[in-house]
A and B are shown apart, each in its own frame.
Chain A
Amino acid sequence: MTASSSTADFRTRLQEWLPKIVLSPSVAAMFVFVYGFIIYTIYLSFTGSKMLPSHDWVGVGNYVKLWGLRAWWTAIINLGIFATLYIVICTVIGLSLAILLDQKIRGEGMLRPIYLYPMALSFIVTGTAWKWIMDPGIGLENTMHLWGWESFEFGWIKDRNLAIYTVVIAAVWQTSGFVMSMFLAGLRGIDNEILKAAQIDGASNWNLYRRIVIPLLRPAFLSAFVILAHLAVKSYDLIIALTGGGPGRATELPATFMYSYTFTRNSMGIGAASAVIMLMTIAAIMTPYLYAELKEKK
């Protein structure tokens, strides 16, 4: 009798512990591979590591050096241009397409997947396609010449000052359909009775959108901004495939900078410092957002 009751106890206690046991591998992996590694990289950013990690403490030396590097400034300025245009253009196109698609369009079921499919592709594929489309020798410029528009010029991808804008084009192509989906979901979530009430109040279509609908889409704007901003900071593959960081180093972004300084230029300390700055940028964008989302759920 005592034996059976103590096994029952054991089973009950095991049941209490099982959830934590099941969760623990993931939590352990997270603490080691995410947060442990982050701490280690932060540590490395304060060391004079070159090709291999070393432990000679240099304080903020790497950060000082980093902000003195022309290449880093190029990457930061590029990121500023790229992120701004990428976010703004994606939002404008996404919102416009969503509003237009929301007008009881015949063939919406056909158009939506067409707008969204680029999101399923690898940035490497996107980069490859656009690399040759925007290549003046064989791509769009050549086509226009063949069609008789002799003066047409589109050589941005070879131009140090303009190449960064080709990255924007390809990135917008890939993501704007997704932003459209987010806004469309937001639009479909708006109570139709609110719109009817506004119409009875005499609002024109323009005013309806400007005064009622767009303000109600605030959460979708926020989500779109956060997603696009974090994608912009993380952009790496597209640069590699589209321009390889060139011409010269004209289209370097922090992500490509970090990779080349760490693994090809043997300045691991500086590479680590640049990674830390990337992380902090993303943390500044994501943390308040995630915090608000989690708090809301509670």
Chain B
Amino acid sequence: MGFLDIQNVTKSYGQVEVLHQVDIAVEEGEFLVLVGPSGCGKSTLLNMIAGLETITSGEISIKGRVMNGVHPSKRNIAMVFQSYALYPNMSVAQNITFGMEMHNVPKEDQQTALQDVAKLLQIENLLDRKPGQLSGGQRQRVAMGRALVRDPDVFLFDEPLSNLDAKLRVDMRTEIKKLHEKLKTTIVYVTHDQIEAMTLSTRIAVMYQGYVQQLGTPKEIYDSPANVYVATFMGSPAMNVVPAKIAMQDGTPHALVKIHDGSEQMLRLEQNNLSEWDGKDILLGIRPESITDPDGADRNSSNIVSLTNRIGVTEPAGADTYVTMELGGKEIIARMRADANVQSGDIFQFAVNMEKAVAFDPATEMRIKP
């Protein structure tokens, strides 16, 4: 039993079930990120943890206390909203102490807590300002301050960085991570940004169409995606998923894939149980960084396979150069070193790290487990 337990939770609006049988146990001090596209149910789940939406069936408990039907203010949670939700008519200080005021915390204690939090977030000089006079980053800090000051059991973050510009978003991300490492509080964090999910979390729940598609550490999610959806959602550029056929050669399974001219190349697979799929179609998943120029190939890999193919377009992106090509009838992306000598239209010999390749059942789109 976890610190925050979500058991068999569903949510319906009328006849429409928008969240199906969610089961997540969050340990104390964990940083759980709910990630998925808009409409996947992640915010609904967060609001249900907060008590802002009712639970249709199932149970949510915090520290062993069942929270169904308990008023949001009585759950000992704090929430940071996407729009920050700062009270426009109150000063920063009043915004932060409002919750304590509602809970009849003595004035002196309010001030002590306020000063502590202001110091922690370096907003001491903003306390007398109104939210309208703050920049986006400052508002973000105040919103976090309002949450921190309550010393809650669980922090809930609802896309807190999505209203910031790109640079500030990266800075605040680092700060949230630092804050979590320092305070060791339990956090549930909703985002649609898979990079945020990867960098911040100790565990990720990838959600889609009201289902938790996969729950695991960032590494598990990235390296062993449970299905095609998770594989393509996490990672940027997305994982290449191409149709292939299994064929046996020298007693090991190989993937047969079509290249630009329609001819087939064989890529040796690591995963031995794929021999059961001999002669059958699969979906082969290869991340862009696993297809490189030969010099850029991972030296620690035990299975680098060469693939000759025609280069589509090249996209130099500073640190890397992305190259497109046609594989299995689809356009895929490969990630070269920045100074790799590639020209569009060239026939080029790529190095593919097949150790990292994954295979999916084309019928169910689920991963064929090793």
A contacts B directly (C-beta below 8 A): yes
The 8 A CB mask of B65-77 against A (1 = contact, 0 = none) is 0000111001000
| Residue numbers in A under 8 Å from B70 (CB-CB) | 8, 12
**For window 275-293 of chain A, which residues contact chain B by CB distance below 8 Å?**
none
| Residue numbers in B under 8 Å from A11 (CB-CB) | 71
Whole-angstrom distance between the Cβ of B67 and the nearest chain A Cβ: 12
Q: A61 vs B74: C-alpha distance in the bound complex, in angstroms?
A: 65
Q: Which residue of B lies closest to A8 (CB)?
A: B74
Decide if the interface of chain B is mainly helix, strand, loop or mixed. loop
| Residue numbers in A under 8 Å from B74 (CB-CB) | 8, 12
Whole-angstrom distance between the Cβ of B48 and the nearest chain A Cβ: 15
**For window 225-275 of chain B, which residues contact chain A by CB distance below 8 Å?**
none
**For window 188-224 of chain A, which residues contact chain B by CB distance below 8 Å?**
none
Whole-angstrom distance between the Cβ of B208 and the nearest chain A Cβ: 26
The 8 A CB mask of A6-39 against B (1 = contact, 0 = none) is 0011011001000000000000000000000000
Q: A8 vs B69: C-alpha distance in the bound complex, in angstroms?
A: 11
Q: A12 vs B72: C-alpha distance in the bound complex, in angstroms?
A: 9
Decide if the interface of chain A is mainly helix, strand, loop or mixed. helix
Q: Which residue of A lies closest to B72 (CB)?
A: A12
Q: Which residue of A lies closest to B74 (CB)?
A: A8
| Residue numbers in A under 8 Å from B71 (CB-CB) | 8, 11-12, 15
Q: Which residue of A lies closest to B70 (CB)?
A: A12
How many residues belonging to A are interface residues under a CB distance threshold of 8 Å? 5
The 8 A CB mask of B5-45 against A (1 = contact, 0 = none) is 00000000000000000000000000000000000000000
Whole-angstrom distance between the Cβ of B203 and the nearest chain A Cβ: 31
Interface size band for B: under 10
Q: A15 vs B52: C-alpha distance in the bound complex, in angstroms?
A: 13
Whole-angstrom distance between the Cβ of B104 and the nearest chain A Cβ: 14
Residue among B69, B70, B71 with the most chain A CB within 10 A?
B71
Q: Which residue of B lies closest to A13 (CB)?
A: B69
Q: A15 vs B72: C-alpha distance in the bound complex, in angstroms?
A: 12
Whole-angstrom distance between the Cβ of A14 and the nearest chain B Cβ: 10
Q: A9 vs B69: C-alpha distance in the bound complex, in angstroms?
A: 8
| Residue numbers in B under 8 Å from A15 (CB-CB) | 71
Q: Which residue of B lies closest to A9 (CB)?
A: B69
Q: Which residue of A lies closest to B69 (CB)?
A: A12
Whole-angstrom distance between the Cβ of B60 and the nearest chain A Cβ: 15
Q: A12 vs B69: C-alpha distance in the bound complex, in angstroms?
A: 8
| Residue numbers in B under 8 Å from A8 (CB-CB) | 70-71, 74
**For window 171-186 of chain A, which residues contact chain B by CB distance below 8 Å?**
none
Q: A11 vs B70: C-alpha distance in the bound complex, in angstroms?
A: 10
Residue among A8, A9, A11, A12 with the most chain B CB within 10 A?
A12
The 8 A CB mask of B49-72 against A (1 = contact, 0 = none) is 000000000000000000001110
Whole-angstrom distance between the Cβ of A220 and the nearest chain B Cβ: 31
Q: A15 vs B70: C-alpha distance in the bound complex, in angstroms?
A: 12
Whole-angstrom distance between the Cβ of A225 and the nearest chain B Cβ: 36
Q: Which residue of A lies closest to B71 (CB)?
A: A12
**For window 108-141 of chain A, which residues contact chain B by CB distance below 8 Å?**
none
Whole-angstrom distance between the Cβ of A246 and the nearest chain B Cβ: 57
Whole-angstrom distance between the Cβ of B93 and the nearest chain A Cβ: 27
Q: A114 vs B288: C-alpha distance in the bound complex, in angstroms?
A: 69
Q: Which residue of B lies closest to A11 (CB)?
A: B71
| Residue numbers in A under 8 Å from B69 (CB-CB) | 9, 12
Whole-angstrom distance between the Cβ of B225 and the nearest chain A Cβ: 38
Whole-angstrom distance between the Cβ of A166 and the nearest chain B Cβ: 52
Q: A15 vs B74: C-alpha distance in the bound complex, in angstroms?
A: 13
Q: A9 vs B66: C-alpha distance in the bound complex, in angstroms?
A: 13
| Residue numbers in B under 8 Å from A12 (CB-CB) | 69-71, 74
Q: A8 vs B71: C-alpha distance in the bound complex, in angstroms?
A: 8
Whole-angstrom distance between the Cβ of B51 and the nearest chain A Cβ: 9
Whole-angstrom distance between the Cβ of A234 and the nearest chain B Cβ: 39
**For window 86-110 of chain B, which residues contact chain A by CB distance below 8 Å?**
none
Whole-angstrom distance between the Cβ of A298 and the nearest chain B Cβ: 13
Q: A12 vs B67: C-alpha distance in the bound complex, in angstroms?
A: 12
Whole-angstrom distance between the Cβ of B270 and the nearest chain A Cβ: 53
Q: A120 vs B94: C-alpha distance in the bound complex, in angstroms?
A: 42
Q: A12 vs B70: C-alpha distance in the bound complex, in angstroms?
A: 7
Q: A9 vs B70: C-alpha distance in the bound complex, in angstroms?
A: 7
Whole-angstrom distance between the Cβ of B326 and the nearest chain A Cβ: 39
Q: A222 vs B68: C-alpha distance in the bound complex, in angstroms?
A: 48
Whole-angstrom distance between the Cβ of A17 and the nearest chain B Cβ: 13
Whole-angstrom distance between the Cβ of B191 and the nearest chain A Cβ: 28
Whole-angstrom distance between the Cβ of B66 and the nearest chain A Cβ: 12
Q: Which residue of B lies closest to A12 (CB)?
A: B71
Q: A8 vs B51: C-alpha distance in the bound complex, in angstroms?
A: 14
**For window 140-187 of chain A, which residues contact chain B by CB distance below 8 Å?**
none
Q: A83 vs B70: C-alpha distance in the bound complex, in angstroms?
A: 58
New A-B contacts (8) at CB < 8 Å, excluding given A8-B74, A15-B71: A8-B70, A8-B71, A9-B69, A11-B71, A12-B69, A12-B70, A12-B71, A12-B74
User: 10 A-B residue contacts at CB 8 Å?
Assistant: A8-B70, A8-B71, A8-B74, A9-B69, A11-B71, A12-B69, A12-B70, A12-B71, A12-B74, A15-B71
Chain B residues with a Cβ under 8 A of chain A: 69-71, 74
Chain A residues with a Cβ under 8 A of chain B: 8-9, 11-12, 15
Which 8 pairs show the lowest CB-CB distances between chains A and B? A12-B71, A8-B74, A15-B71, A12-B69, A12-B70, A11-B71, A8-B71, A12-B74
